[in-house]
Structure 1
């Protein structure tokens, strides 16, 4: 019998992409061919290893990320979901999300992916401008992307899509028009990210060579404020620094991360947090496959988290949320004294400045503070 514990979240990583986008620092790889049966068997083995350690817990959410998991055969998706349900059991309202590229080829699989059990899709539209899509290295154009969005809205109960803003040369008026168009499509969730230059990416090389301008931080802050105002007016307020949703349509899987719940991760490079342990799987697909063949699982590191590390992670993740954090809960969960979680003088100063609010053990970053969240976290977290 399942114990009465909070449901787990399961993350499954599919590492392959058709091409590598110049802004992307995720664990994604381009390969000429993929042995689909071998990959299905390996993912099932990795999943079974985690299930043996956590089988007393039901699954509340599953997320297929990547890479480009919409390149997975629907039969593989179905096999993984069937196995997960046998091992853990599903909560009655389980959320099962798959990330997808908005190409017509992948959209043709949406009905079969939905039949396999996926009930939520996250589309990487990234822009609603053909020139911007070319700049971002995307293979689709706007027309193809919107066609995939229409197909997704017919196939899945819940649909989200991503956009990247604060692109070089993008004005407030440009973003106003693009975001207004995005909001007109009627999805209940949007992930809206400012373009950041990540180390090791093609964009980072171009910046170092002086061939790609970096957006002025003040202009980025104006775009961020405009984003929050415009989405709130449309009924999709920010519930996390980059994520916006109608009430009740927040990503339950990602909320598990931000609220510091337990989750297991399988597939190359997947992270997990379970029972006070941090797990990390081998990143390179071939190395992960070798580990599966040798050990029956792909773990590279499995490390006990010190009490202070658990508390710090919970604070850093939870303060990204509009709801903030319950310091009492973090103290109970981590074993760290509540008085040692934050720097009281810094919190008091930031509260006077309007950047944070604290009521009893509840602490949250205000709308005024969210544009400078990184600085606030550095000041607040003990």
Structure 2
């Protein structure tokens, strides 16, 4: 059953203008109450999907680095008791690089966190201000240095394709980022998500998003520079040295089972999809009333599972094994990809085929959403 566990901490100091994640600002948080509730939610998942040792745990948010280290330690202790930990266990925590949060790094490492993902987002102060970040460039670099001293594996995020950002400016910022020597980088194009403050700003004319062609140029720069530096993309926005990929995120992209606990967390286990209540107060009420935070749980039929597996797997440089997916879902491999479209996009250099395995080329990756609509049969997309 599940070999990965996601734990969602929903609180932030402020809401970033680009963020559409399930994050909330609260004046006070009762950490003892939240510890008890998260443990209860975790125990429910272990009862439903236990039996094999965990290979990874990921603390996401929100801002998990706002959690007291003793709460993180309590959750890890209970997870190990409930599931056991496989050799080489990966335990990742997302962190903002403010000095307040960096001061907790030593205690978090002692609690068992062995991989940290820093939300640096930019190495330019003007960009950090535009993105609504709480930290300065100086704080970010200090936190990065501190993290590299304490954790076995460090990754950090950058957002590019910002308004009026030139290819030369991005190349220089990325060159600086690569020089810090982390084994993993998450490099995301700025996307204007519905319901965010940036969506309002664009609608009212406060700024214009980068043109798609210009963003594609920056994507190409990103792929070429990271590959040259030994950090090739293994997923459309994630780059690592060989063997340093995020094992937890690979669980999602390879469509393997995982449990999700905490407000808004999703899970996939035993052919069933779970989703927790998103609002923290509603999630807490559900824990009190039913012993877990699940708002919706449903069985996924084979079409839904095949569709999800294709949509996730084609994000990966390694692509997807159609025969293996067919065995899992009961489809012939030829039913999973539209044959004439696959032939067309292979000829155009946007798709590659290697035996039973298929994936998008570097040229195809920027066109991911459009190609998925063409390649995945309509009866699966509409599942």
Shift of 1:329: 1.2
Per-residue deviation, 1:340? 1.4
Question: 1:87 — aligned with what?
Answer: 82
Q: Which residue of 2 aligns with 1:26?
A: 21
Of 163, 171, 178, which aligns to 1:168?
A: 163
Give 2:139's match in structure 1, choosing from 126, 131, 144: 144
What's 2:150 paired with?
Answer: 155
Aligned: 1:209 with 2:185? no
Match of 1:348 in 2: 343
Q: TM-score, normalised by structure 1?
A: 0.98
Q: How far apart in 1 are the matches of 2:346 and 2:176?
A: 36
Counterparts of 1:286 and 1:220 in 2: how far apart (Å)? 39
Given the alignment, which residue of 70, 79, 93 partners 1:75?
A: 70
Give the equivalent residue in structure 2 for 1:269. 264
Matched, 1:112 2:80: no
Matched, 1:301 2:323: no
Q: CA deviation at 1:379?
A: 0.6
Instruction: Give 1:375 shift.
Output: 1.1
User: For structure 1, which segment, 364-373 or 236-245, has the greater mean C-alpha deviation from structure 2 after superposition?
Assistant: 364-373
Q: Is the aligned partner of 1:242 residue 2:249?
A: no
- Corresponding residue pairs, total: 377
How far does the alpha carbon of each residue in 1:298-323 deviate from its partner, in whole angstroms, 9 at most, with x for none? 00000100101100110110000001
Q: SS state of the match for residue 297, structure 1?
A: coil
Range with bigger deviation, 370-379 or 270-279: 370-379
Q: What are the residue-to-residue correspondences of 1:366-377 with 2, within 5 Å?
A: 366-377=361-372
RMSD over aligned Cα, in angstroms? 0.8
Residue 319 of structure 1 corresponds to which residue in structure 2?
314
SS at 2:118's partner residue? strand
**Cα drift, residue 337 of structure 1:** 2.7
Partner SS for 1:187: coil
> CA separation in 2, counterparts of 1:208 and 1:158?
40
Cα distance in 1, alignment partners of residues 185 and 251 from structure 2: 18
Distance 1:25 1:69 in 2: 16
The aligned counterpart of 2:381 is: none
- Alignment partner of 1:220 is 2:215: yes
How many angstroms apart in 1 are the aligned matches of 2:129 and 2:199?
17
Aligned residue in 2 for 1:50: 45
Gaps of 5+ in 1: none
Secondary structure of the residue aligned to 1:223 is helix
TM-score in terms of structure 2 length? 0.97
Q: Shift of residue 15 of structure 1?
A: 0.1
Structure 1 counterpart of 2:277 = 282
Match among 116, 120, 123 for residue 128 of structure 1: 123
CA distance in 2, matches of 1:134, 1:381: 40
The 2-side partners of 1:174 and 1:379 are apart by 35
Q: Distance in 2 between matches of 1:122 and 1:333?
A: 32
**Which residue is 1:364 aligned to?**
359
Query: Is 1:333 the counterpart of 2:323 in the alignment?
Result: no
Q: Deviations over 1:50-104 (max 9, x none)?
A: 0011221210000000000000000000000000000000001110000000000
Report the CA distance between 1:336 and its aligned residue.
2.4
- CA distance, structure 1, for counterparts of residue 354 and residue 5 of structure 2: 33
Residue-by-residue CA offset, 1:2-41 (whole Å, 9 max, x unaligned)? xxx7x61100000000000000000000000000000000
Q: Alpha-carbon deviations, 1:195-254, whole Å to 9, x = none?
A: 000000000001111111110111000000000000011110000000000000000000
**In structure 2, C-alpha distance between the alignment counterparts of 1:61 and 1:364, rounded to whole Å:** 25
